[in-house]
Amino acid sequence: MTGKIARWVARDVLRSIWLGLYTFFFLIITLSFFTFFDDPSRVLLSLLNLVLMVVPLVSMIFVLTYLHNNRNFIVLTLTQPVSRRSVFWGYWWGLAIPLQLALLVGMGLPVAFHLLAHRALWLASVLQVVGAMLLTQIFLGLAIWLSFAHEDRLKALASGLLVWLSLTFLYDGLLLVVILLASAYPIEKFAVGLSFLNPLDLVRLLLLMQMDVAALMGFTAEVFKKFLGNAVGTLAAVTALLIWIAFPTWMAFRNFMKKDF
Amino acid sequence: MINLALFLTVLVGQTPAPEKGVIEIDLQKTPSASPTLTVCGTCPRRSLREAIEEAPPGAVIYVLGGVYRESTLVIRKPLTLIGEDGPVLDGEGKFEILVVDSVDGFQIRGFTLKNAGISFTEDQAALKLKNSQNCFVEDNTFLDNFFAIYLENTHSCVIRNNRVRGPGRTESFSGNAIHVWNGYNIWIEGNHLSYHRDGIYFEFVRDSKIYNNVSENHVRYGMHFMFSEGNDFARNVFRDCGAGVAVMYSKHTKLRQNRFEFNWGGASYGLLLKEIDDTDIEGNVFYKNTVGLYVEGSNRVFVRGNTLEKNGWAIRVLGNSMALSFMYNNIVGNTFEASSNAGRSFNTYLHNYWDGYVGYDLNRDGYGDVPHRPVRLFTQLVEQYPPAVILLHSPLEFLITYAERLLPVLSPSVIEDDRPLMGRIVWSKSKDSSNDTDR
Amino acid sequence: MVEVKGLVKRYGSLTVLRGVDVTFPPGVTALVGPNASGKTTLLKSILGLVIPQEGSIHVMGEPVTGHPEIRRHVGYMPQMVQFPENLTLKEILEWVQDLRNVRVDLEPWVSWVGLEEFVDKPFGYLSGGTRQKVGMVAALMFDTPVLILDEPTAGLDPLSNTRFKEKIREERDRGKTIILTSHILSELEGLADRVVFLLEGKIIFEGSREALLDHTGKPDMEQAIAYLMQENGSEVR
């Protein structure tokens, strides 16, 4: 049943004009970056800003809006002889698949075509696309959580924006303040540790470490690489990202299962 | 712009003419009708050692193709060694190969010297010249030696068109390609140096010329010199070395039309200047280095007509430098244009082209109407709080930089170019070909 | 047949249903009561949308709570009919069939509501009344023994309204259990056999139309219900 629901949701979402625009936007941007910049690392770094800002924001707003526009229908679905579990996961997959497809077409395809011709920075390129997909999934989970936690559409949107703002800017702002205040101490390890807690920082640093920009980051990069160099570090990074997907999803699921609609 | 280009051509100077007058190497000490000896595997004389012992001062020894393993050969008289059909002198990983001691007039060409032994107690070299003068080292190949060409208390030498390739091991397992300690009138030209610890190493060297060499892939420095004076470096390429080029405690140096490129790593510099006075840096290209030009504790350094492109930091200037003049340079495509730890600057930055400049030129005179501040807020933060670099390329950095664009007063004024150029400087005779060397 | 026993529902400190015992036998039952009386919560409990703290609900003799498959007996038409905007009417009805794992011949239903020309139009293009008709079809097409209709006639044109009422009577005559709410009390006249009056989470009256008229001494249902509300200190809607 989950699969059936997911297929129908995905069919509906895939016809959304906004998703089309999102795909088109990334396609145009990625292609033009590859056309205008001769340097693949310049392309990746320019894309990185988009991936870190646009992907989470769009995922968040898109999912929140979709779920609220379809709230009454979701309720109707729940009055049919299907379990809540199926409805939840049906919507989770039904939203995730189109969003991921949009990224794959808008960004993955141009990157893949470019990789066919130029192998330079292939790992970083792949990481860029995978990172964007992970962030999509993370913000999808957060959006579903927030959507069912707030009955009011505006409240849900506002809290979604707040979460986005916090992870995108505020967290790094606080990190900067910590670094400035603790400048008397060797704080690199601590800063690297803090960066593991924010998925945006983690994805960004994982990508930068694959690029020659890492040389500019001196001791900080060394600490990061040293940590990632061993199995524990890699596991921690992967776990951190998976937790960022799993935790909001789990919270949303728990809430959905016992919620009064 | 054309006038400017002309002006700069004059400023930067044409290809420096070989100033032969400075180096007077007296080759007449080897008489024209010198006695000759021949060494080869099938000749009556098979041992180079014997030939060296037998040869009268000023003799010419011809060595034919073959591998010669004769441990360390010491030469104490003027001699000319000419290799024909590529003779190989093999140090077998144990010995120094040729040691020229207290000789006035020595020439070697056409040899391959390889496998000079590694030593942790002394600088074992393939060719060591000490207390000597008037020498010619030309058209030889040096392979997998600890040190390759080593000059000690030696002056008036030409080292030309040699190919020197080291073993490329770690720092302590490899010596320098060309090492000069205490000398003057040394002419190093057209050599290709690679995979040593340092490509060119100078300590206490005066009035020497270093032209048209390529020094690349060294473990540490492409060139490293200290306590030296009056040297002229032109049209060399220093590429892809662990730490780039470091120039320290020296003065009256000219660095012109060299390329410093691909010196990329945690502590790499295109060109590092430390306590350097009265030096001209003109018409060089700094391309894809972690730090293009790094200046510390230096005075009266003239940096003009250079192109600094796609470096991490184009320039980093520490506050203890004075009367630095940084003019008519192109600063293009760098991650950070400039950084300085100083509160205020005692240096001059003028008429450079910065591609990060967002000002305008209302009166159309080719110069921006508002000053350019190449040190961004984020750059300054990183300079003062290095761990802040963890925010590199983050949305927050984007936000800070965007805020600076809207409100330029936010940018630190440590470095200020009051009249930045609006367009990239193109030199009329373009030696600046940085665009076609992307790898 | 829907049986509710001792149903209690609290939202935080607010108690909405205070021990509701009520039986909906076959036939049309109008569920009435002022705003915030607990009507919606009661319906949602039967539909499994609201999880009550105490009590039990049986539909066709089977317990509802924790058993989503029981809802195969129930057809529901919500007050606000809404379907995914980008899917066509046909796709939407297919989706609903998928949810029930039941195949139904759609054509008679589509022609019944006169939506033949809209079959391949995305739902987003449809007007309010048309949407309401789609909701009607989705509720009725599975021929379920229980029908829950929440304000079903709001937004329908007079002709559709008449047809709809005919359909309801038809279904009643086939022995179905139909639970109906409406703000327009006159709508209930001639449709409801029984009335359940809910006030502040408690059943105040439960009985046949005749019993209600007897009880209140009023000539018709509209006035009878209005009287009940006034009696109990509520505003007439």
Express each pLDDT in A92-144 by its tens digit.
Answer: 999 999 999 999 999 999 999 888 888 878 888 888 999 999 999 999 999 99
Residue type, C100: R
pLDDT band of residue B14 (cuts 50, 70, 90) is: very low
For chain A, say whether B394 makes contact (Cβ under 8 Å).
yes
Between chains, do A5 and C96 touch, taking CB under 8 Å as contact?
no
pLDDT tens digits for range A48-71: 988 999 999 999 999 999 999 999
Does residue B220 surpass a pLDDT of 70?
A: yes
Give the separation between CA A7 and CA A3, rounded to whole angstroms: 6
For chain A, say whether C62 makes contact (Cβ under 8 Å).
no
Residue B241: which of B226, B211, B221 has the closest Cα? B221
pLDDT band of residue B172 (cuts 50, 70, 90) is: low
For chain A, say whether C233 makes contact (Cβ under 8 Å).
no
Burial (CB count <10 Å: 0-12, 13-18, 19+), residue B401? middle
pLDDT band of residue B16 (cuts 50, 70, 90) is: very low
Q: Which residues of C touch A82 (CB under 8 A)?
A: 68, 99
Q: Which two tokens stand for residue B434?
A: 């940085």
Task: Give the one of C11, C85, C100 whose C-beta lies nearest to A80's C-beta.
Answer: C100
Q: Which two tokens stand for residue C122?
A: 């995305």
Q: Which residues of A touch B384 (CB under 8 A)?
A: 183
Question: Starting from the edge strand earliest in sequence, which strands make up the sheet with C74-77, in order?
Answer: C74-77, C146-150, C177-181, C27-32, C194-199, C202-208
Contact assessment for residue B100 and residue B121, using Cβ atoms and an 8 Å cutoff: no
Task: Give the one of B333, B387, B393 whose C-beta lies nearest to A187's C-beta.
Answer: B387
The arithmetic mean of pLDDT across residues B315-319, rounded, is 89
The arithmetic mean of pLDDT across residues C116-143, rounded, is 86
Q: Convert B287-342 into a string of H (helix), E (strand) and C (coil).
A: ECCCEEEEEECCEEEEEECCEEECCCEEEEECCCCECCEEECCEEECCCEEEEECC
Tell me the H-state helices in B346-430.
377-384, 395-406
pLDDT tens digits for range C16-45: 888 889 989 998 998 888 888 888 899 999
Does residue B29 surpass a pLDDT of 60?
A: no
Does residue A22 surpass a pLDDT of 90?
A: yes
Give the separation between CA B252 and CA A187, rounded to whole angstroms: 42
The arithmetic mean of pLDDT across residues C157-169, rounded, is 86
Contact assessment for residue C113 and residue C89, using Cβ atoms and an 8 Å cutoff: no
Give the separation between CA A67 and CA A153, rounded to whole angstroms: 10
Does residue B343 surpass a pLDDT of 80?
A: no
- For residue A224, give how far its alpha carbon lies from the nearest alpha carbon of chain C (Å): 46
Does residue A210 surpass a pLDDT of 80?
A: yes
Question: Starting from the edge strand earliest in sequence, which strands make up the sheet with C62-63, in order?
Answer: C14-24, C2-11, C54-59, C62-63
Q: Which residues of A touch B310 (CB under 8 A)?
A: 39
Between chains, do C68 and A5 touch, taking CB under 8 Å as contact?
no
Between chains, do A169 and B264 touch, taking CB under 8 Å as contact?
no
Between chains, do B393 and A201 touch, taking CB under 8 Å as contact?
no
Does residue B294 surpass a pLDDT of 90?
A: yes
pLDDT tens digits for range C175-219: 899 998 887 777 777 788 888 988 888 888 888 888 888 888 888
Contact assessment for residue B200 and residue B188, using Cβ atoms and an 8 Å cutoff: yes
The arithmetic mean of pLDDT across residues A193-203, rounded, is 91
The arithmetic mean of pLDDT across residues C85-91, rounded, is 89
Task: Give the one of A1, A79, A260 whose C-beta lies nearest to C74's C-beta.
Answer: A79
- For residue C142, give how far its alpha carbon lies from the nearest alpha carbon of chain A (Å): 11
Contact assessment for residue A244 and residue A199, using Cβ atoms and an 8 Å cutoff: yes
Residue-level pLDDT at B171: 66
Give the separation between CA C185 and CA C76, rounded to whole angstroms: 20
Residue B134: which of B77, B199, B178 has the closest Cα? B77
Name the least confident of A168-177, B204-213, C149-158.
Answer: C149-158
Contact assessment for residue C92 and residue C83, using Cβ atoms and an 8 Å cutoff: yes
For chain A, say whether C70 makes contact (Cβ under 8 Å).
yes
pLDDT band of residue C113 (cuts 50, 70, 90) is: confident
Give me the torsion for CA of B60, B63, B68, B72, rounded to 10°: 10
Domains of chain C in start order, with CATH, are 2-78+144-231 (3.40.50.300)
Residue-level pLDDT at B24: 56
% of chain A beyond a pLDDT of 70: 100
Q: Which two tokens stand for residue A206?
A: 């994982």
Q: Which residues of A touch B388 (CB under 8 A)?
A: 176, 179-180
Contact assessment for residue A73 and residue C83, using Cβ atoms and an 8 Å cutoff: yes
Mutate one of A118, A216, A223 to test the B interface: name it (highest B CB count within 10 A). Answer: A216
Q: Which residues of B touch A172 (CB under 8 A)?
A: 391, 394-396
Residue-level pLDDT at C82: 86
Task: Give the one of A187, A201, A219 whose C-beta lies nearest to B394's C-beta.
Answer: A201
Residue B95: which of B62, B128, B64 has the closest Cα? B128
Give the separation between CA C114 and CA C130, rounded to whole angstroms: 9
Q: Which residues of C touch A88 (CB under 8 A)?
A: none
Contact assessment for residue B249 and residue B275, using Cβ atoms and an 8 Å cutoff: yes
For chain A, say whether C145 makes contact (Cβ under 8 Å).
no
Residue-level pLDDT at B134: 94
Between chains, do B335 and A176 touch, taking CB under 8 Å as contact?
no
Domains of chain B in start order, with CATH, are 34-242 (2.160.20.10), 244-375+412-431 (no CATH)
Give the separation between CA C226 and CA C209, rounded to whole angstroms: 14
Task: Give the one of C11, C78, C99 whose C-beta lies nearest to A82's C-beta.
Answer: C99
Chain A window 8-37: which residues touch C at a Cβ cutoff of 8 Å? 8-9, 11-13, 15-16
Between chains, do C95 and A75 touch, taking CB under 8 Å as contact?
no
Backbone angles phi, psi at B129, to 5 degrees: -115, 120
Burial (CB count <10 Å: 0-12, 13-18, 19+), residue B439? exposed
Q: Could you give the C-alpha distances from B413 to A217, B335, B389, in angstroms and in order?
A: 24, 18, 20
CA A73 to chain centre: 27
Q: Which two tokens stand for residue A212?
A: 């020659």
Residue-level pLDDT at C233: 65
CB pairs under 8 A between A and B: 88
Between chains, do A81 and C72 touch, taking CB under 8 Å as contact?
yes
pLDDT tens digits for range B100-130: 999 999 999 999 999 998 888 888 899 999 9
Does residue A191 surpass a pLDDT of 90?
A: no
Q: Identify which has the larger pLDDT, C66 or B206.
A: B206
For chain A, say whether C51 makes contact (Cβ under 8 Å).
yes
Nearest CA in chain A to C40: A261
> DSSP string covering B195-251, please?
SSS-SEEEEEEES-EEES-EEES-SSEEEEEES-BS-EEES-EEES-SSEEEEEEEE
Residue-level pLDDT at B23: 53
pLDDT tens digits for range B323-335: 899 999 999 989 9
For chain A, say whether B312 makes contact (Cβ under 8 Å).
yes
Q: What is the DSSP letter of A194?
A: H
pLDDT band of residue B368 (cuts 50, 70, 90) is: very high
Does residue B31 surpass a pLDDT of 60?
A: no
Task: Give the one of A48, A173, A215 whose C-beta lies nearest to B266's C-beta.
Answer: A215
The arithmetic mean of pLDDT across residues B77-104, rounded, is 93
Residue type, A96: A
